[in-house]
Amino acid sequence: MSQQLDFYLARAAEARTDADAATLDNVRDRCLRAAAAWDNMAARAARSERMRAEAEAKKAEMAAAAE
């Protein structure tokens, strides 16, 4: 995993921990919204990494076929 993806996942976990510790409903809701946003960013980062790896593999395959 990339550092960026690790960062997003860590922030999501931290936000969920904060939500569990919150005593006020609005604070808990804010933390849960933040966790959802971090999870969304992590999913996008993972998808980008996967697409980048697929593109690199395809380029390598095409280069090998051209030789």
* SS3 category, 29: helix
Task: Determine the pLDDT at residue 47.
Answer: 97
Task: Determine the pLDDT at residue 30.
Answer: 99
Q: What is the pLDDT of residues 8-59, one digit of tens each?
A: 999 999 999 999 999 999 999 999 999 999 999 999 999 999 999 999 999 9
Task: Determine the pLDDT at residue 66.
Answer: 85
C-alpha to C-alpha distance for 28 and 36, rounded to whole angstroms: 12
Q: What is the pTM of this model?
A: 0.83
Burial of 42 (0-12, 13-18, 19+ CB in 10 A): buried
